[in-house]
């Protein structure tokens, strides 16, 4: 049993939102900022075979920790958990910058991810503490834009630091920005002072961590570091299934479960969780393979390929802003994911039309449509579920949405990656032996013009089923959107007694 302090706002909500938005940006950027710096890091630290773990370790740790922060924030107040997660994140950033070997960097990235997972969840949950339900859509729209922009800005910023400074600054820049965000948060968000006793569901937390870790490892490594049907791969699948079943049993008997199963009886919670799973898979799965198309099929440079993804961000910012205003004005939201899923289906269909000679204008238009769809959905899932669940479960429900989105993205990247590799190999004629993991601008430049054209055609051939699956997924998501109940968004301020 522990004494705890609950939280409320006694300051300017705008200051709190700005601070947590900055923290959210740092956590989101650190998922992608290292990508362009990896070759330089390998040159410095060696151990090329461990390269993927620099990314995987962060994603694994942030995915596992996210739902725990949601529950702990509900139990002990968001304020103390923000301090804890920021402390872990910044300490991990320093450790990353000072890493002297690849192993040290991988462990430091995992430590950093433990804090990053909290920043994702707490930033979204704090909105529920400081903003009336009807106004939350506007803020969630801003956060959706941050998520989207980070996927484009991260690689560009990482490349800039490597080119003009060193890869160490990718992590050191987090320190001053993180401290600035904490200062702003501290001024706006203060403890209420009420002490309540709680019992932590340690068994549930441990089992959920094992289940998420096993699933994330399997989807990250299967088909790359390990075989799908190897002993290790099958062992991870078994660990996922057993720990999940045990977790469900434990939650039914826990006094204060880390993920209360009764929340799944709420239509809004279940439907938004499923929609988050699908949109996470659609967005991450789409963004992951578009740079390959741009650099290999269209011949764009890494920097240019990043800039060519900007229309998606513009689309998300535009419709997420409009969606937030619509929810604020009407208190309604059901029509938004219906429109969003329809636009995603259309965007996926357009992306299936990509060819080697597709113009950049047409490519940008396709991405813009896809971004419009994402922007309609992102603000709704968090806002709707925060409005529907009891206030004591606000953090837990928010964390679940993040967890399902992360799981969707992780599984999609693994499955699509394997499918892409198989289709790419099948699209090459006999005598041309190039692995999907070997293609890149530098490798492509060493090939003859005829072979480059063959490789470009193979890339386009390999992408077709990826976007076909995305389209099928979002059509299923459209069914969930129609089934989503609409609970009118309250237009009241957050009471100080809550």
Phi–psi pair at 173, nearest 5 degrees: -65, -20
Which one of 227, 255, 283 terminates a domain? 255
CATH assignment of the domain containing 81: 1.20.1250.20
3 state SS of 420: helix
The structure tokens 């949950």 sit at 125
Is 409 inside any structural domain? yes
Answer yes or no: do 342 and 418 share one domain.
Answer: yes
Arithmetic mean of pLDDT over the chain: 78
Same domain, 272 and 350: yes
In terms of domains, do 380 and 309 share one? Answer: yes
Same domain for 251 and 288? no
Size of the chain in residues: 498
Can you give the residue range of the structural domain that contains 60?
1-200
Last residue of a domain, one of 200, 226, 247: 200
What's the whole-model pTM score? Answer: 0.76
My answer on whether 246 and 280 are in the same domain is no
Quick check: is 78 in a domain? yes
- Spatial separation of the C-alpha atoms in residues 370 and 378, rounded to whole Å: 13
Domain annotation covers residue 100 = yes
> Which residue in the block uniquely carries the two structure tokens 């060193």?
166
Q: Maximum distance among all alpha carbons in the chain?
A: 72
Task: Report the alpha-carbon angle 465-32-473, nearest 5.
Answer: 30
Tally of domains in the chain: 3
Place of tokens 């959920």: 208
Shared domain for 244 and 294, answered yes or no, is no
Where is the domain boundary, 182, 200, 218?
A: 200
Tell me the sheet residues that pair with 189.
9
7, β-bridge pairs: 191
Regarding whether 229 and 151 lie in a shared domain, the answer is no
- Return the ∠ at Cα 280 (arms to 458 and 123), rounded to 5°: 140
Could you tell me if 474 and 370 are in contact, meaning their C-beta atoms sit under 8 angstroms apart?
Answer: no
38 membership: H or E segment, kind and range: helix 38-45
Token pair in block for residue 205: 């937390």
103 vs 95: CA distance, rounded Å: 12
| 498 in a structural domain | no
Concatenating the DSSP letter of every residue in 201-264 gives -HHHHHHHHHHHHHHHHHHHHBTTTB-TTSHHHHHHHHHHHHHHHHHHHHHHH-SS-SS-GGGG
Q: Is residue 250 located within the same domain as residue 294? A: no
Q: Do residues 289 and 369 both lie within one domain?
A: yes
- Tens digits of residue pLDDT in 219-244: 766 655 667 677 888 888 898 899 98
CB-CB contact of 463 with 420 (8 Å): yes
pLDDT in tens, the chain (498 residues): 334 334 444 446 777 778 878 887 887 777 677 766 666 776 677 665 566 677 777 877 887 787 777 777 777 777 788 888 889 989 999 998 888 888 888 889 889 888 888 887 777 777 766 777 667 667 766 777 777 677 667 777 776 777 677 778 888 888 888 888 888 877 766 655 444 455 667 788 788 888 877 887 787 666 556 676 778 888 888 988 999 899 889 888 877 777 778 888 888 889 998 998 898 888 877 877 787 788 778 877 766 777 788 888 888 888 988 888 888 788 888 899 999 999 999 999 999 888 888 899 999 999 999 999 988 888 888 888 877 877 777 777 777 777 788 788 777 877 787 788 778 777 777 766 666 555 655 566 666 777 778 888 888 888 888 889 999 999 999 999 999 988 877 655 444 433
Q: Is residue 192 part of a domain?
A: yes
Let me know whether 333 and 314 are in one domain.
yes
160/250 Cα distance (integer angstroms): 48
Helix or strand or coil: residue 437?
coil
Same domain membership, residue 452 and residue 404 = yes
- 159 falls within a domain: yes
Residues 359 and 474 in one domain: yes
């Amino acid at each position: 049993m522990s004494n705890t302090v609950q939280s409320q706002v006694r300051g300017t909500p705008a200051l709190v939102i700005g601070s947590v938005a900055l923290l959210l940006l740092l956590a989101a950027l650190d998922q992608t900022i290292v990508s362009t710096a990896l070759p330089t890091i390998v040159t410095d630290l060696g151990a090329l075979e461990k390269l993927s773990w620099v990314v995987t370790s962060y994603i694994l740790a942030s995915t596992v920790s996210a739902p725990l922060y949601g529950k702990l924030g509900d139990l002990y107040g968001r304020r103390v958990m923000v301090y804890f997660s920021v402390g872990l994140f910044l300490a991990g950033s320093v450790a990353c910058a000072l890493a002297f070997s690849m192993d040290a960097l991988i462990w430091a990235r995992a430590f950093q991810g433990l804090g990053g997972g909290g920043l994702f969840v707490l930033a979204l949950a704090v909105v529920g503490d400081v903003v009336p339900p009807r106004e939350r859509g506007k803020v969630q729209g801003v956060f959706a834009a941050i998520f989207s922009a980070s996927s484009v800005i991260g690689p560009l910023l990482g490349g800039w630091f490597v080119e003009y400074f060193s890869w160490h600054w990718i992590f050191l820049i987090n320190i001053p920005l993180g401290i600035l965000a904490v200062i702003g948060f501290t001024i706006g968000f203060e403890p209420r002072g009420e002490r309540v006793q709680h019992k932590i569901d340690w068994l549930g937390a441990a089992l959920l961590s094992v289940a998420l870790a096993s699933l994330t490892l399997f989807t990250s490594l299967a088909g790359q570091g390990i075989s799908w049907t190897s002993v290790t791969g099958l062992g991870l699948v078994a660990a996922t299934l057993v720990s999940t079943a045990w977790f469900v049993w434990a939650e039914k008997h826990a006094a204060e479960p880390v993920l209360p199963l009764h929340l799944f009886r709420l239509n809004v919670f279940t439907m938004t969780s499923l929609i988050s799973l699908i949109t996470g898979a659609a967005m991450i799965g789409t963004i992951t393979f578009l740079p390959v198309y741009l650099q290999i099929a269209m011949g764009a440079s890494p920097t240019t390929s990043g800039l060519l993804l900007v229309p998606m961000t513009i689309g998300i910012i535009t419709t997420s802003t409009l969606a937030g205003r619509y929810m604020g004005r009407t208190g309604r939201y059901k029509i938004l994911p219906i429109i969003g899923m329809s636009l995603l289906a259309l965007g996926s269909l357009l992306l299936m039309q990509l060819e080697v000679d597709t113009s950049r204008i047409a490519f940008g238009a396709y991405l813009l449509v896809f971004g419009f769809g994402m922007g309609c959905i992102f603000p709704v899932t968090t806002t709707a579920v925060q409005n529907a669940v009891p206030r004591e479960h606000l953090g837990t429900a928010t964390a679940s949405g993040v967890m399902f989105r992360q799981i969707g993205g992780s599984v999609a990247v693994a499955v699509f990656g394997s499918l892409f590799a198989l289709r790419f190999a099948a699209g090459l004629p006999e005598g041309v032996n190039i692995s999907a993991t070997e293609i890149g601008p530098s490798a492509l430049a060493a090939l003859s013009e005829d072979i480059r054209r063959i490789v470009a055609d193979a890339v386009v051939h390999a992408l077709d089923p990826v976007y076909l699956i995305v389209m099928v997924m979002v059509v299923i998501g459209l069914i969930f959107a129609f089934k989503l109940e609409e609970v009118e968004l309250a237009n009241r301020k957050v009471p100080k007694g809550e």
